[in-house]
Every structure is written in C-alpha cells, then in structure tokens.
Structure 1
Amino acid sequence: MADQRPVLVATEADDCTADMVITELNRREVPVVRVNPADMGPGLTVSARFGSCPAPVAGHIRTSSRSVDLTRIRSVYWRRPTWPTFEHLGPDDARYAVAQTRYGLGGILYALDAALWVNHPQRNAAADYKPAQLALAHRLGLAVPPTLVTNDPDAARAFVTRYDHVIYKTLRWTPYQRAGVPLTGWADLVTAAELDESVAVVPHLFQAAIDKVADLRVLIVGRQIFAVRIESGMLDWRKDYSALVYRVVELPDRVAKALLAYLDHFGLVSGSFDLAVGRDGRLWWLELNPNGQWGWLEEPTGLPMSAAFAHLLTQGVTP
C-alpha cells in the first residue's frame, strides 16, 4: 500500500515555484496539504496537544479544503510563507496577534522534529547572514572577494579608494518603497565621492568587483547539484532576465564538496548559491540564498529540479 502521509507545503498564495513541486508530487500520487500562515482564522485553524498523548505533539491543521494529522506529516517544504499582519486591528492588538501567531503556529510546526524540513526556517535564518556566509566560505577554501562591512564613513571611503571597482550590496533584501514605488537593491558600483556621513546610520556591505565573464547559479537539493552558467554581460544579471543565456555546467569537484559542506554546516538540505566566473576561470563566492528561486531555470535548461525536490520530500528523510 502506498504511503499516504502528506507533504506539508508552506507558502504564499501565488508561488509558481511551489506549484511546480506540487505538480510533481501529484504526479507521484503523494498527498499534499498547502498552507499559508497569513490565512490564520476561519481559513486556517490549528489545534495541537502536548503531554497528554503518546506523541510529543498531536493534533490537526485544517485549511478550507484539507486537514492534516500532525503526527502523520511526512515532510515540510517551507517555501515562501507570509505571516498575517492583522491590519484591521489597532497597532498594539496587531503586534500582539502577530506574535501569538508566529510563536503559536510557528512553534507547533517547529515541534515536528520527526519530519524532514526543506529547509527548517530557523536554519534558513541562521544561514541568511552575509558576514557569516563570507567567513564560512573562506574557511571552506572558496575564493572570497575583498569585502568590507562597516558603518564608518572613513573606512568605507578608504576601502573604495583602495580597489579599482567596488560594488555596494544590501545585507539583506527588504521590502522598500520611495514615493510609493517599490525599489530593489541591485549590486551597483560606488565611488568614494558618493559616500557621505549617512553611511554611519547602518552597516553597509562593500565588495571589490570581480573581473567576471559570467555568473553561476548552483542549486543543491539533497546531494544533487544543478549548476547553471548565466551569460549576461551585466554586473547584476537580475536586472534583465530576457537578456540571459543559460548553459548547464559541471562544478569542479573541490567547489562541489565545499558547497555541500557549506549546507551541512548550517543543517540545510537545499540552497541556491551564486558564484562569479572570473576572466581566468576562477570561481568566486558571492552568496547563498537558503531558500532561493530556481523555477525559471528548469524549462530553459531541462534540469529536473522540481523532480529532485519532489523526490526529497517524498522520501521524508534527510539524504
């Protein structure tokens, strides 16, 4: 008899990448329950018991169309869930409601230690700090561009002056609007003349620009490695997806082992890495997104990425 334990997919309503994995799970006849914490209320109810049953945690999560026994969840695909903001409440009540939801629903889900997480949100969070990423990449023998994280304007100007070309990056993507228009923080060149005393307000990340000829996006799922070379001619290829050319490549064995060790360090089973290809062929570390996008790459490359996720989630065990 086929294993009927469901895979729990936690993500926002419009997530085409999660849809690809769910389609593959459906093809394999694996039950799926999709939830989004933002639906908390009549559309999403949870009831969990502790200390009064054989299992450490027991109970149910119910959506408008599904119900899942907490003791039977096979694995959890933590994609891009959103949390409720309770905007209809006053500021104090909303703040209280948000905290209760995060620590209530989140705590119940985090208690599912027996389930495979791809990836556990607490491990995602630990891996999401760029300074820690840079240090670990260096320890693992990966080439790391000279980088400065500082809120000292003088130190920033000295660093930018020292290197011919320096880029500025955000330390973390954050929703941001100016005059009501959403803005994205691209990796852009910066000069010493542009740096004023406002640098002192928060830490900034400055990095010597690599003389690169291409970029690599490397997706690891379990122990499967999918490496795609991205030809663009742009400093930040995300600015124009229509101009990109993709080619499937093999990573050098040393780099592949280092990236797997990187995931192991943080207890992750999947991650999306960005590397730069130097003019001399050397691969340079840029960053890890522990829950990065990959869906747009599957069709043009033919790589079975969604099948790899479906296989991992179906197994329900750490590879």
Structure 2
Amino acid sequence: MAVDRGPVVVAAETDDQTADLVIAELNQRNVSVIRFNPGDIGQRLAISARFGAHPGTPAGPVRTPSRTADLAEIRSVYWRRPTWPAFEHLDEPDARFAAAQVRHGLGGVLYALHDCLHVNHPLRNFEAEYKPLQLAVAQRMGLNVPPTLIANDLDAVRAFIAAHGEVVHKVLRWTPYRQGAVGLTTWTEPVTEGELDESITVVPHLFQARVNKVADLRVVVVGGKVFAIRIDSDLLDWRTDYDVLSYSVVDLPSRLEKTLIAYLEHFRLASGSFDLCVDREGEFHWLELNPNGQWGWLEDQTGLKLAAAFAELLMRGGS
C-alpha cells in the first residue's frame, strides 16, 4: 500500500530492538522513516529549523547519513527512549552548557512540530511519570489504588506499616545508578518497621500496602486499542526473573478498558503501558503507568500484533 504523506521520525538508540519492530512494520506499509538518536548530534545528525515561513511549525531539513526529511512534512514522531549526548570529552561547565543547548535546541524543535502526532510527546511523558500525580488521577477515575504513603517522616512511615502490616517499598522514579563499573537497580521489596532508621528522612519514599495478588497484568494501550497480558509467577516483582514467568492474553472488563483509555487522554498520551494486578477475589488493583514502557518482548511471548498497532498509529499522524 503506497502512502504519499510525510515521513515518520523514530527517535531511538541504534540497538533498540523494539524500535526495529515498529520500523519493519512501517517499511512493509511503504512508509518513509528517518531514524536517529539525539545523542548522535554532530557528524551523524544535523538540523536546520526555520520559523516564520510555515505558520505554527518549524521547517527545514533534518539529516542523517542515510536520510533527509523536511520538518514541516513530518507526520509523526515515535519517541522511543532515545538518549541525549553527554559531551564527556568536554570539561564539566562546557559539557553542561552543550547538553542544555541540544535539549532546548534539537529537543525544542521536535517538540514544536505542529499537526504531528507524538507517540508520546516527551513533555507529556515527563508529566505522566510523576507517581504521586499518577496515584491521584487513578483514584479520581475510580481505579482501585492500594493504600499508599509518600513520606520522609519516620514516625509517619512506622505508623503506616503498623496500620497495614505487609508493606512494600518502591522507588518514585527509576534512575540509572552505578557503583564503579557495576550497574544497580531497585525492585519492589517488602519493608518492616525494624528496617527503618533516620536515613529515611533524607528523601521522600513510596510505601504501599501489599496486595494479596494471584497475578500481574501488563496492559498496553495504543491509540485506543487495548492489549492485556496476564503475567503469572510467584514473584513480588515479576521483573526480577523473566525466566519463570508465564503469559496469557486476557480480556479486561469493558469499564476498566474505557477508564485506562480515559487515563491516557487525561495526560494527552497516544500510548502507555499500565501495570495492574489481580487478587484472589478477582479484583483489579492499580499499580502504575509507564508512559513509554517496554512491550517488545510481549509480542514474542504472546503473538499480539503490538508493533503493527504502533505502526498503524504512526501512519495515521495528526496532532
């Protein structure tokens, strides 16, 4: 099927296999794609954006070694976890200055594209990543939110654990963390009063009453299409061991599907990956939204046509 509309931009790292899946689907549909990573600015990525000639949107070329596209003709942008340059060859003040110019220059131009669909717009992703805001919106929409405390008050945390018994600790935002050459991460883990001390007062922490769950759910919503996958294991945090997981495609209650779609609309997101769980009584519990969550491995495990759904959404374009 030939398409005479403008190209799709895929902003992603070179080795992003999920981006590869979507690009392959776009190629099958004869859609022109220009792929780059903002970290490639310089020799492998050049931009020249003019303002004033095209009302409301920048115009001019964006170039990679293999592709050139006119900014004013881009129909959609797939913002697939790209990275920004760190300018490690510069001293710290110059690196900080250069990084800011790229984020506000290149980033600002891409953010300013008008009549262009962003999946998702980075500024919308940024807003939706705040877990306190997620929790409040989920509660307002009638989703079943486990009792949650965000605090750096030691007495308040002790009282919360005493009131709820089994409590877990979660990070408020995943952040790259290294000790020397070793990369570290933080999982959802149980916490008891005896483990607490004054160090908790340094920053806020998220504590949540543990749900007596029987399974987890990863729900990927793409342009109003809902793909729900049940993840069975005996793990508190299923991300700790993918080898022991089993997957099955399930249907959600219509009301829950509509609420999740409305949740994305609230944040003006075109797609998102929700984490839910289900308890022994069959009740669904809200955990969190990943605005730019992983889904590529789920297509391999379930056969769901997720990449095709993303490709069709990006082909549609619009704002």
Whole-angstrom CA distance in 2 between matches of 1:180 and 1:43:
28
- For the 8 Å contact 1:55–1:71, the answer to whether it is kept is no
Whole-angstrom CA distance in 2 between matches of 1:19 and 1:42:
23
CA offset at residue 30 of structure 1?
0.7
Instruction: Provide, for residues 275-309 of structure 1, a one-character-per-residue CA deviation record: whole Å limited to 9, x for no partner.
Output: 01111110000000000000000022111100000
AA of the residue aligned to 2:148: T
- Structure 1 residues 103 and 231, CA gap change in structure 2 (3 angstroms): same
In structure 1, the partner of 2:183 is 182
> What pairs up with 1:219-298 in 2 under 5 angstroms?
219-298=220-299
Matched, 1:209 2:197: no
Whole-angstrom CA distance in 1 between matches of 2:264 and 2:221:
9
TM-score computed with the length of structure 1 as normaliser? 0.97
Whole-angstrom CA distance in 1 between matches of 2:209 and 2:315:
43
CA offset at residue 314 of structure 1?
0.7
Instruction: Provide, for residues 111-136 of structure 1, a one-character-per-residue CA deviation record: whole Å limited to 9, x for no partner.
Output: 10211110000000110000111111
In structure 2, the partner of 1:117 is 118
- For the 8 Å contact 2:8–2:34, the answer to whether it is kept is yes
Structure 1, unaligned runs of 5 or more? none
Matched, 1:69 2:70: yes
Matched, 1:192 2:193: yes
- For the 8 Å contact 1:44–1:62, the answer to whether it is kept is yes
> What pairs up with 1:156-167 in 2 under 5 angstroms?
156-167=157-168
- Structure 1 residues 205 and 81, CA gap change in structure 2 (3 angstroms): same
Which SS does the other structure have where 1:49 is aligned?
Answer: coil
Instruction: Provide, for residues 211-251 of structure 1, a one-character-per-residue CA deviation record: whole Å limited to 9, x for no partner.
Output: 00000000000010000000011000001111110010001
In structure 2, the partner of 1:18 is 19
Whole-angstrom CA distance in 2 between matches of 1:206 and 1:119:
29
CA offset at residue 52 of structure 1?
4.4
> What pairs up with 1:83-94 in 2 under 5 angstroms?
83-94=84-95
Whole-angstrom CA distance in 2 between matches of 1:37 and 1:280:
47
CA offset at residue 179 of structure 1?
4.3
CA offset at residue 56 of structure 1?
3.4
AA of the residue aligned to 1:68: A
In structure 1, the partner of 2:59 is 58
- Structure 1 residues 154 and 54, CA gap change in structure 2 (3 angstroms): closer
CA RMSD of aligned residues (A): 1.1
CA offset at residue 317 of structure 1?
2.8
AA of the residue aligned to 2:18: T
Whole-angstrom CA distance in 2 between matches of 1:52 and 1:90:
38
CA offset at residue 4 of structure 1?
4.7
CA offset at residue 208 of structure 1?
0.4
- Structure 1 residues 200 and 26, CA gap change in structure 2 (3 angstroms): same
How many residues align structurally?
318
Instruction: Provide, for residues 233-278 of structure 1, a one-character-per-residue CA deviation record: whole Å limited to 9, x for no partner.
Output: 1000001111110010001111111101100100001000000111
- For the 8 Å contact 2:218–2:276, the answer to whether it is kept is yes
- For the 8 Å contact 2:56–2:114, the answer to whether it is kept is no
Which SS does the other structure have where 2:49 is aligned?
Answer: strand
Whole-angstrom CA distance in 2 between matches of 1:54 and 1:248:
45
Instruction: Provide, for residues 195-220 of structure 1, a one-character-per-residue CA deviation record: whole Å limited to 9, x for no partner.
Output: 11111110000000000000000000
Structure 2, unaligned runs of 5 or more? none
> What pairs up with 1:168-179 in 2 under 5 angstroms?
168-179=169-180
Matched, 1:306 2:302: no
In structure 1, the partner of 2:142 is 141
Whole-angstrom CA distance in 2 between matches of 1:131 and 1:180:
32
CA offset at residue 53 of structure 1?
5.1
- For the 8 Å contact 2:54–2:72, the answer to whether it is kept is no
Whole-angstrom CA distance in 2 between matches of 1:296 and 1:148:
32
